[in-house]
Structure 1
Amino acid sequence: MADKRGERPAHPLAQSRPQRGRRPLPAGEQFFTPGATGLRRKVEQRSAAPLVFLFQLPRWIAPVVLVVLMLAGFAVSSFWGGVAVLPVIGFVGWLAYMSWPSLGNGGRLLRVALLTFLILLAADRFGAF
C-alpha cells in the first residue's frame, strides 16, 4: 500500500523520525510471521517491544553481556555458574524460537545444538551430573 508520494508506509513500530542517538528500525515488509496463530502469534506480539528495545541499544551491549554471563558460567563451577548461564539459555532460546520459521535445516540444527550445550552446562553447574 503506497502513500501519496508512492512510497511504502513505515512499519507501525518504526518512528517517523529517529530520536537522537537511536538507530531507525530496518525496513521490511513483515514484522510477524505471516499466518501465525496460537502460541507463535502471542509470543511474536509480546516480543515486538523487547526486540525493538534491543535494536535501539548500542550493538555491542547484548553480545558483551552474554559473553560475560557465559564466561561466568564456565569459570564458576558451582550453583552460581549455573545461575549465570540461565539468562543466556533464555535469550538464545527466545531468539531461536523467533527465527525458527525463517531458518533452514542447518540453522535449526545449530540452534538446537547450542541450546543443548547450554542446558548441559547449566545442569553440570547445578550438580545434576
Structure 2
Amino acid sequence: MRTGSDSSGIRATIERLSATPVVFLHRLPRWVLLAAVFGLLVVGMAGTGWVGAAGLLVLLAVMAWFAYLNWPVLDGSGRALRVAAMVLLAAFAAGHLFGRF
C-alpha cells in the first residue's frame, strides 16, 4: 500500500492541494455530503439538456477526484467499480447533452 508520504511529482502536488478540501469535507456532518450527492444525482436525472448534464458532470468530477486520491490503495475490484460508475455517469451526461435522455 502506498501512502501520501512516498508520493512524488504531480500526485504529491494534487494530494497536497486536496488536503484542505478533504479535511473540510471530513468535518461536515455525513448527511450534508450525502444530501449534496443525492441532490446532484436528482438534478442530473430529472434535469434536461445542459442542466441535467451539468449536475452529472459535477458529480463525475468529484467522483474522479476521490478515485484519483484513493487509487494507490484500491484493489482491482475497487478500481473497476469506480471506473464503471464514472463511465455510467459520463454516458448519462452525454445522453443529456445529445438529447437521448
TM over 0.5: yes
1: CA distance, partners of 2:5 / 2:16: 12
SS at match of 1:34: helix
| Larger helix percent | 2
SS in 2 for 1:53: helix
Match of 1:87 in 2: 58
Higher normalized contact order (CA 8 Å, seq sep 6+, divided by chain length)? 2
Partner of 1:96 in structure 2? 67
Structure 2, unaligned runs of 5 or more: none
Aligned-pair identity in percent equals: 33
- 8 A contact 1:86–1:122 mirrored in 2: yes
Computing the radius of gyration from Cα coordinates, the structure with the larger value is: 1
Question: Which residue number corresponds to residue 49 of structure 1?
Answer: 20
Residues 73 and 85 in structure 1, CA contact (< 8 A), matched pair in contact too: yes
Q: Secondary structure at the match of 1:90?
A: helix
Distance 1:78 1:128, change over 3 A: closer
Instruction: Give, in angstroms, the shift of residue 114 of structure 1.
Output: 0.5
Residue of structure 2 equivalent to 1:16? none
Q: Which 4+ stretches in 1 moved above 6 angstroms?
A: none
Gaps of 5+ in 1: 1-29
- Residue of structure 2 in register with 1:64 after alignment: 35
Q: CA deviation at 1:128?
A: 7.1
Structure 2 counterpart of 1:89, which letter? L
Give the TM-score normalised by structure 2: 0.90
Structure 1 partner of 2:89: 118
